[in-house]
């Protein structure tokens, strides 16, 4: 799973908000699909600019992520490196496009269910659940100060 960090959590939530508020969405459009909308938030590029970069590679985001080479200087590298810098892996990118990460799906309100990759409301729910899962993991990494764990003045019950 992706590396939990504030930037990724905020990007997922902002993408969900933009989609909920009517941002362009078309699953078959590199700039307006699930990953395309996330890239708009992360890179501040338009959907048209993302399409022009994406068309330097072949296939869907899933295939592009699998073929990604961190050594090349192709324009597509710029987009993939942004997602990688956020903490996403090629598997995460695949799961975002197809809404398939079982841990994220288990965190949906109401419990596990399968979502449809090309339904805006399902994409919004997935991005929000993904952000929540990462936020929980992020918070678990933060060590709590001793005074929070054992407050001064509280009696210990035996």
> Which of 146, 152, 136, 126 has the alpha carbon at shortest distance from 16?
126
For the chain, the domains span 6-138
Q: Around Cβ 15, how many Cβ atoms within 10 Å?
A: 27
**CA-to-CA dists, residue 32 to 66, 88, 112, 137, angstroms:** 20, 19, 26, 29
The tens digit of pLDDT for each residue in 54-80 reads 655 444 544 444 444 343 333 555 677
Q: Around Cβ 57, how many Cβ atoms within 10 Å?
A: 20
CA distance 133 to 108: 10
The answer to whether 105 and 113 are in contact (CB under 8 A) is yes
Q: pLDDT tier at 153 (50, 70, 90 boundaries)? A: low
């Amino acid at each position: 799973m992706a590396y939990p960090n504030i930037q990724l959590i905020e990007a997922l939530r902002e993408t969900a908000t933009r989609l909920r508020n009517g941002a362009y969405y078309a699953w078959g459009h590199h700039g307006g699909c699930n990953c395309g909308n996330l890239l708009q938030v992360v890179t501040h590029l338009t959907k048209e600019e993302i399409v022009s970069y994406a068309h330097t590679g072949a296939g869907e985001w899933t295939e592009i992520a699998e073929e990604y080479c961190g050594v090349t200087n192709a324009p597509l590298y710029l987009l993939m490196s942004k997602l990688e810098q956020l903490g996403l892996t090629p598997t995460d990118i695949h799961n975002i496009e197809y809404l398939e990460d079982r841990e994220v799906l288990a965190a949906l309100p109401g419990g596990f269910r399968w979502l449809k990759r090309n339904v805006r409301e399902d994409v919004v729910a997935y991005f929000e659940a993904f952000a929540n899962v990462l936020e929980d993991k992020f918070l678990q990494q933060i060590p709590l100060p001793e005074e929070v764990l054992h407050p001064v003045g509280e009696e210990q019950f035996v």
